């Protein structure tokens, strides 16, 4: 992990964010404190996860080097202040895109990196078959998340009288739940699946109930005062999806980069490059750094990971999913 430099400015006019990142030579990326599959700081000191890979793709596009990233671990309650105060340039921390956040916090979401949903985990022994069996139960939930609001709303509508135990961080919520302070823990289904991997008694001792009480479109966010930076980050994500549609991978990119269809889809053109203030070939650099979206998913969340999550809604639109790229021209 690179050392984080001093905050240059908490706000940036159009085009200034990229200029600041390039002058610093480092992209400061806000990530979680540790969620398997999304962002984890390993014993070797290396960060891994789909959010981490996305940060590296942006660094490759903006700076020409995917390693020029300083990862900043943040609690959920810290993430938007860190973005607003200029502590980070990009927030890639399993964060749900909501109208309230965009309208009141001065942030813009660049797109959806992962479609998730809110779930509940309970102990397998004596587990209720449905959420109705949790009536009057204490439920662990992390402070500063949409999960807290959805829990209260679902409880009220269904007259379950669920009693939230609001914890400061994912780590404290996990500890409280596994120590028996709560009958259930509610969060994004992917986060619960990650926590269950290393839970006391092994994964089989805990079960995620079948109901889902909210949609959680997770994606990267930036401050809302720099349109060019937003567009750059957004189209890095679209480049990774486009590459998958075309069958372009990190392994075959060099071989296929001269094909007309690849050039048309993954080379923005001089006018766009000048508008964004970025060196040409930035989408190709992003793909070369981390691979296409399917590669990101498979190694961090899918069959090549411990989580082994189904692709589901995160499939390309051509395969029955929701991942869709707007036209470049």
Q: What is the secondary structure of 41-91 as a DSSP string?
A: E-TTS-EESHHHHHHHHHHHHHHS-TT-EEEEE--HHHHHHHHHTTS-SEE
Q: Quick one: pLDDT at residue 119?
A: 96
- What pLDDT does 14 receive? 85
Beta-carbon contacts of 259 under 8 Å, excluding residues fewer than 6 positions away, are none
pTM higher than 0.85? yes
Compare 2 and 91 and report the one with higher pLDDT. 91
pLDDT band at residue 74 using 50, 70 and 90 as cut-offs: very high
DSSP state of 4: P
Q: Calculate the CA 102 to chain-centre distance.
A: 16
Percent of the chain surpassing pLDDT 90: 90
Domains of the chain: 16-113+219-306 (3.40.190.10), 115-217 (3.40.190.10)
Confidence of residue 7 (pLDDT cuts 50, 70, 90): very low
> How confident is the model over 309-313, as a mean pLDDT?
94
- The separation between the first and the last C-alpha atoms of the chain, rounded to the nearest angstrom, is 37
CB 235 within 8 A of CB 283: yes
pLDDT at position 95 over 90: yes
For the cut 50, the answer to whether the pLDDT of residue 258 exceeds it is yes
Enter the DSSP assignment of 211.
-
The pLDDT of 158-182, averaged and rounded, is 95
Give the closest residue to 209 by CA, choosing from 183, 240, 174.
183
- H or E element in which residue 238 lies: helix 227-246
Query: Per-residue pLDDT tens for 20-58?
Result: 999 999 999 999 999 999 999 988 889 999 999 999 999
Q: What are the structure tokens assigned to 162, written together?
A: 């669920």
**Whole-number Å distance between alpha carbons of 96 and 9:** 26
Q: What is the pLDDT of residues 123-138, one digit of tens each?
A: 999 999 999 999 999 9
Please tell me the distance from the alpha carbon of residue 275 to that of residue 239, in angstroms, as a whole number: 18
pLDDT at position 328: 85
* Mean of per-residue pLDDT scores for the chain: 94
Q: Give the tens place of pLDDT for each residue, 184-237.
A: 999 999 999 999 998 999 999 999 999 999 999 999 999 999 999 999 999 999
Confidence of residue 262 (pLDDT cuts 50, 70, 90): very high
Say whether pLDDT at 327 is over 50: yes
Tell me if residue 149 falls in helix, strand or coil: helix
């Amino acid at each position: 992990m690179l050392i984080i430099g001093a905050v240059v400015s908490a706000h940036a006019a159009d085009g200034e964010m990229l200029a600041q990142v390039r002058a610093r030579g480092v992209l400061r990326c806000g990530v979680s404190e540790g969620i398997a599959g999304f962002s984890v700081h390993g014993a070797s000191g290396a960060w891994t996860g789909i959010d981490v890979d996305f940060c590296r793709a942006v660094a490759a596009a903006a700076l020409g080097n995917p390693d020029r990233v300083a990862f900043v671990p943040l609690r959920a309650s810290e993430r938007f202040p860190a973005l607003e105060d200029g502590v980070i340039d990009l927030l890639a921390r399993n964060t749900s895109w909501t109208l309230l956040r965009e309208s009141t916090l001065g942030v813009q979401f660049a797109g959806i990196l992962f479609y998730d949903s809110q779930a509940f985990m309970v102990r397998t022994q004596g587990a209720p078959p449905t959420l109705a069996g949790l009536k009057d139960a204490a439920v662990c939930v992390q402070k500063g998340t949409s999960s807290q609001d959805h829990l209260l709303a679902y409880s009220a509508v269904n007259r379950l009288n669920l009693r939230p135990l609001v914890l400061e961080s994912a780590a404290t919520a996990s500890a409280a739940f596994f120590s028996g302070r709560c009958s259930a823990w509610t969060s994004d289904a992917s986060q619960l699946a990650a926590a269950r991997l290393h839970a006391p008694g092994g994964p089989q001792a805990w079960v995620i109930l079948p109901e889902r009480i909210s949609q959680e479109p997770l994606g990267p966010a930036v401050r809302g005062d720099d349109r060019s930076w937003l567009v750059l980050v957004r189209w890095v994500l679209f480049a990774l999806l486009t590459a998958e549609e075309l069958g372009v991978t990190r392994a075959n990119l060099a071989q296929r980069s001269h094909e007309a269809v690849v050039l048309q889809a993954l080379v923005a053109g001089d006018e766009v490059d000048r508008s964004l203030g970025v060196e040409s070939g930035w989408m190709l650099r992003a793909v070369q750094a981390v691979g296409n979206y399917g590669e990101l998913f498979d190694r961090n969340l899918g069959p090549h990971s411990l989580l082994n999550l189904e692709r589901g809604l995160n499939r390309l639109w051509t395969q029955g999913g929701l991942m869709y790229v707007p036209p470049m021209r």
